[in-house]
Structure 1
Amino acid sequence: MALLDDVIDATGGMSRWNSLSRFTLHLSVGGTLFSSAGHPREFKDVIAEGSTRTQSVRFTGITGGEQSGSFQPDAITIESVDGEVLQTWSNPNLAFSDTDSHVLADELHLIFFCGVAIWNYLTTPFLLARPDVAVEELSPLQEGSETWRRLRAQFPPNLVTFAGEQIFYFDDKALQRRSDHDLFGMKVAHYSWAHEIFGGIVVPTLRRSQLRQPDGTVNAKPILIDVEIFDASFD
């Protein structure tokens, strides 16, 4: 597909991505989803280390530097700074229930949420080239003074994502600028910008998630999820 090919080339190229196996991020994650659940600072100034090939992320420095947390599709763990396992949660795939208004109330849910978010954020758009992801190009959409091209992606059930169907938007440089999907019964738009190159891979260092109205317009507030990546490396 021409658009997806352009996007992957603009982000660093599939050859470079396939040569990588690990990523390390220094980042902060916040927003009203976190503060309203009583976790305004648990993911401030943390290190995220993960695999580019399988869904796996380990967060170091959560809860003020006192704990670490690991995300994998079949297990979530929380550990002390000396490696003692404090909590575990097996097979957490049913965590994201639209009927649960306190879905991020405990730290296991919070680690699951952040693991899904960060892994999917970082591996897109290369994730869209997987053979089990169905992608089609949609008509362009006007965003302010810019025209953004769009892809609709259908993800397989064995891939842990926030929604099985998502729409991705790309600017005239073929860089990802927005994605839309449902989340906890809400319609959300995730904006991304401030792209930087780390190890040959282009990464948007700022991301912000806001409520999306049925007509496609986006509310300025509240900021549901706010992600800032300070540094990144790949190997």
Structure 2
Amino acid sequence: MALLDDVIDASGGLARWNSLDRFTLHLSVGGSLFSSAGHAREFKDVTAEGSTRTQSLRFTGITGGEHSGSFQPDAITIEGLDGEVLRTWRNPSLAFPEVGLPALADELHLVFFCGVAIWNYLTNPFLLAHPDVVVEELPPWREGAETWRRLRAQFPSDLITLAPEQIFYFDESALQRRTDHDLFGIKVAHHSWAHDSFGGIVVPTLRRAQTLQPDGSVIAKPVLMDVEIFDAVFE
């Protein structure tokens, strides 16, 4: 698909991506999804280490530096500074007991949600080239004075994502600028910008999730989720 090829090339190319195994991020995550559940500073100034090949991510420095949290598809763990496993959630699911903002009140849910979100942020758009991901191009979208091209992606059930169907928007430079999908029963749009190159991989260093209106516009406040990436290393 021509658009997907352009997008992957603009982000560093599939050959470069396939040569990598791991990434390390220095980042902060916030927004009303966290503050409304009493976790406003849980993911401020943390380190995330993950695999580019499998869904695996470890956060160091959460809860004010007191804990680490690990995300794997079959288990979420909270660990102390000495590596002792304090809590475990086996076979986690985004179908949390509560729907909406209170869903992230539990620290295990928080690690799971952030693990899924950050891993998918870092692996897209390369993840869209996965043979089990079904991608189709949609008509272009007018965003202010710009025209953005779009892809709809259907993800397989064995891949944990924030939503099985998502729409990705790309600007005239073929860089990812927005993603729409359902989340906890509401429609959201993630805008991304301030792209930078880290070891040949181009990453949007700022992301913001807001509620999506039926006409495709976003509700400015509250900001559901803010992600700022200060540095990234790919190996």
TM-score computed with the length of structure 1 as normaliser? 0.98
Is 1:34 the counterpart of 2:34? The answer is yes
How far apart in 2 are the matches of 1:209 and 1:189? 5
How far apart in 2 are the matches of 1:28 and 1:101? 19
Deviations 1:160-217 (A, max 9, x none): 0111100000000000000000000110000000000001000000000001001111
Q: 1:102: how far off? A: 2.1
User: 1:156 matched to which residue of 2?
Assistant: 156
User: 1:61 matched to which residue of 2?
Assistant: 61
User: 1:80 matched to which residue of 2?
Assistant: 80
Cα gap change, 1:98 to 1:165, in 2 (>3 Å): farther
Q: Which runs of 4+ in 1 moved over 4 A?
A: none
How far apart in 1 are the matches of 2:173 and 2:100? 39
How far apart in 1 are the matches of 2:124 and 2:34? 23
User: 2:221 matched to which residue of 1?
Assistant: 221
- Structure 2 gaps of 5+ residues are none
Q: How many residues align?
A: 235
How far apart in 2 are the matches of 1:45 and 1:94? 24
User: 2:130 matched to which residue of 1?
Assistant: 130
Is the contact between residue 20 and residue 52 of structure 1 (CA under 8 Å) also seen in structure 2? yes
Structure 2 residue matching 1:223: 3-state secondary structure:
coil
Structure 1 residue matching 2:163: 3-state secondary structure:
coil
Cα gap change, 1:133 to 1:98, in 2 (>3 Å): farther
Deviations 1:5-51 (A, max 9, x none): 00000000000000000000000000000000000000000000000
Q: In structure 1, what residue type is equivalent to 2:52?
A: T
Q: In structure 2, what residue type is equivalent to 1:148?
A: W
User: 2:120 matched to which residue of 1?
Assistant: 120
Cα gap change, 1:141 to 1:123, in 2 (>3 Å): same
Deviations 1:133-173 (A, max 9, x none): 00000000000110000000000000001111000000000
Q: Superposition RMSD on alpha carbons, in Å?
A: 1.0
Cα gap change, 1:42 to 1:101, in 2 (>3 Å): closer
Structure 2 residue matching 1:218: 3-state secondary structure:
coil
How far apart in 1 are the matches of 2:101 and 2:45? 26
Deviations 1:57-86 (A, max 9, x none): 000000000110000110000000111110
How far apart in 2 are the matches of 1:232 and 1:95? 30
How far apart in 2 are the matches of 1:218 and 1:154? 23
User: 2:107 matched to which residue of 1?
Assistant: 107
How far apart in 2 are the matches of 1:180 and 1:157? 19
Is 1:43 the counterpart of 2:39? The answer is no
Q: In structure 1, what residue type is equivalent to 2:153?
A: A
Cα gap change, 1:173 to 1:153, in 2 (>3 Å): same
Cα gap change, 1:113 to 1:138, in 2 (>3 Å): same
Is the contact between residue 7 and residue 174 of structure 2 (CA under 8 Å) also seen in structure 1? yes
Cα gap change, 1:104 to 1:128, in 2 (>3 Å): same
TM-score computed with the length of structure 2 as normaliser? 0.98
How far apart in 1 are the matches of 2:58 and 2:26? 12
How far apart in 2 are the matches of 1:203 and 1:63? 26
